[in-house]
Structure 1
Amino acid sequence: MRALRCLLVWVTALFIGVGGANAGGRVPEMERALDLARVVEVLRDEGLVYGNGLKTDMLSGQAGAYYDRRISDIYDPETMLDTLGSRIGAGLTEEQIDQSIAFFTSDRGKRIITLELDARVAITEPAVDEMAAQALSQAEEAQSSRVAMVDRFIDINDLTERNVSGALGANYRFYRGLVDGGSHRMGEGEILDLVWSEEDAIRADTDGWLRRFLFMAYSPLSEQDMQAYLEFSESETGQALNAALFDGFDRMYHTIYYALGRAVADELQASDL
């Protein structure tokens, strides 16, 4: 099975608060400022590609229109947004929401959001990913300060470990879906062994991808803007936001991956009839 791609890397720029008790009447303002409609669209597009990959990898490419509709329903934008918002808004105080809005509606914050989204879309192309890897390698050889700042950003937000944890949890739920759907027979211990056997590969893939993506995304930022972003991320507000984001992502992808497992299981069961 394919490992969960690092979908949790928009650490502080995206998915701030689309709902929740603490957000109050400022939610629409945050949605407009953060272009959340485009964010969810990007995640949905990635999900549809992933679902099609499962068709090739696990179903010999034989699944038909019903499977495609089911994958589309699993990655329903409104449901995804609701799931994220149910956790993120509740994870921030009024003051932290105000501080977050102030940062991300500034010219600096808007540029960060745009750079992250544009880079996220671009790097899905293998040629762009390769160029990002080459640019990072050259910067490392030149001992660029930007590489050090990207690595610090990853450390501040605990990106590698949080992503690995999220991927393992999502993969567990995928296998659980396969078993509950009746296409695979595995005990709990077998599922856990299978999930943990993927940990090292997921960690290596995650760390490398994060560094390539973030270096490409933030290269256009000035030193001052990058430093300000690091300081925000390290603040109490930035850390609270980071924790809320990962909580929302985990819940969203756990639900999605279980549903993907059930969809694949149902197709496998149908093919055996």
Structure 2
Amino acid sequence: MSRRLSVALALGLSATAALAFPATAEPVDDLLEALRLESVLEIMREEGLVYADELEAELFPAAGGENWRDSVERLYALPAMMESFRASFAAEMPESSIAPALAYFESEEGQRIIGLEISARIAQMDESIEAASRETLETMQEQGDPRLDLLEAFSEANDLVEANVVGSLNANYAFYTGLVDGGAFAFDLTEDQILADVWQQEPEIRSDTRDWLFSYLALAYQPLSDEEVQSYIDFSETEAGQDLNRALFAGFDTMLVGISRGLGLAAARFMGGQDI
């Protein structure tokens, strides 16, 4: 399962399809609208479709065809993604923290930050721009750019590296169990064997997550002054900011684990008990 799919706070592409909030909107829905959750889900859907093509090419070249694509489209149906995310997010987000979080992200500063995050995420979809942003990060590191200290503080305040690594490992485990339960392999695998295989990926996932995350943050927040970045950090360190961060990761983790297991089960049908 792709590491990038679980970078929960890297806000994404503006939605091209309207996702319906409940008919009777609750405060949590106002917050999700302010955060432009539709944008996040749309870009994750687009990345997921690309990743599914890569899976087919790697695991069962040219064998999936229209049936595989139909399965993937169902798994990445936007209403289902919204429903899964919202249920976990709403269960995790304390009601007392919704109003202060909403006030921050509906403010001029909050909306500007979200706009910058979206613009950067759109740019990062271009592989050449992503490569250039990584090179920029390397230059900043070589020169000891003080902005890196602020980005590190922001990452630590939101536990971005660790939470994304855990989310990726959970998604990978779910995908692997989907393969096994779907009969993809010509041999039996124990849970311990699956866990061991998934855990072997942790160092690479951690390194790639950190590199991608900091190149993205450097690009997204480049137009902000140090004072504006610090203000965002200050909000992140409040009770509402911490509650929001936990709820976001809970929502994305639940959604991505479900999709990942579904991808594994669907892929297993085309692999047909491979001895690999």
TM over 0.5: yes
Q: Which residue is 2:116 aligned to?
A: 115
Contact 1:12 1:238 in 2 (8 A): no
Residue of structure 2 aligned with 1:248, choices 247, 251, 258: 251
Give 5+ residue unaligned stretches, structure 1.
Answer: none
What RMSD over aligned residues (CA atoms) do the two structures have, in Å? 2.5
User: Structure 1: how far apart are the matches of 2:220 and 2:62?
Assistant: 34
Q: Which residue is 1:231 aligned to?
A: 234
Look up the SS of the partner of 1:5 in the other structure. helix
After superposition, the Cα gap between the structure-2 partners of 1:121 and 1:268, relative to the gap in structure 1 and judged at 3 Å, is: same
Alpha-carbon offset, residue 211 of structure 1: 0.8
User: Structure 2: how far apart are the matches of 1:95 and 1:209?
Assistant: 33
User: Structure 1: how far apart are the matches of 2:142 and 2:3?
Assistant: 30
Q: Which residue is 1:217 aligned to?
A: 220
Alpha-carbon offset, residue 112 of structure 1: 1.0
Look up the SS of the partner of 1:60 in the other structure. coil
Give 5+ residue unaligned stretches, structure 2.
Answer: 13-19
After superposition, the Cα gap between the structure-2 partners of 1:110 and 1:187, relative to the gap in structure 1 and judged at 3 Å, is: same
Alpha-carbon offset, residue 214 of structure 1: 1.0
Alpha-carbon offset, residue 159 of structure 1: 1.2
Q: State the identity %.
A: 36
Alpha-carbon offset, residue 129 of structure 1: 1.1
**2:104 counterpart of 1:103:** yes
User: Structure 2: how far apart are the matches of 1:240 and 1:36?
Assistant: 17
Normalising by structure 2, what TM-score?
0.88
Contact 2:3 2:209 in 1 (8 A): no
Contact 2:6 2:253 in 1 (8 A): no
Alpha-carbon offset, residue 31 of structure 1: 4.0
Give the letter aligned to residue 145 of structure 1.
Answer: P
Contact 1:92 1:244 in 2 (8 A): yes
User: Structure 2: how far apart are the matches of 1:40 and 1:135?
Assistant: 28
**2:201 counterpart of 1:190:** no
Look up the SS of the partner of 1:231 in the other structure. helix
**2:150 counterpart of 1:169:** no
1:48-197 equivalences under 5 Å are: 48-184=49-185, 185=187, 186-197=189-200
Contact 2:94 2:243 in 1 (8 A): no
Look up the SS of the partner of 2:156 in the other structure. helix
Alpha-carbon offset, residue 180 of structure 1: 0.7
Give the letter aligned to residue 225 of structure 2.
Answer: S
Alpha-carbon offset, residue 170 of structure 1: 0.8
Alpha-carbon offset, residue 202 of structure 1: 0.8
Q: Which residue is 1:35 aligned to?
A: 36
Give the letter aligned to residue 233 of structure 2.
Answer: L
Give the letter aligned to residue 252 of structure 2.
Answer: F
1:167-202, CA deviations, whole angstroms, 9 ceiling, x for partnerless residues? 111111111011111112322222111111111111
Alpha-carbon offset, residue 116 of structure 1: 1.2
1:212-246, CA deviations, whole angstroms, 9 ceiling, x for partnerless residues? 11111111112222111000111111111111111
Q: How many residues align?
A: 266
After superposition, the Cα gap between the structure-2 partners of 1:227 and 1:188, relative to the gap in structure 1 and judged at 3 Å, is: same
User: Structure 2: how far apart are the matches of 1:243 and 1:255?
Assistant: 18
1:123-142, CA deviations, whole angstroms, 9 ceiling, x for partnerless residues? 12221111111221222233
Residue of structure 2 aligned with 1:259, choices 259, 262, 269: 262
**2:11 counterpart of 1:8:** no
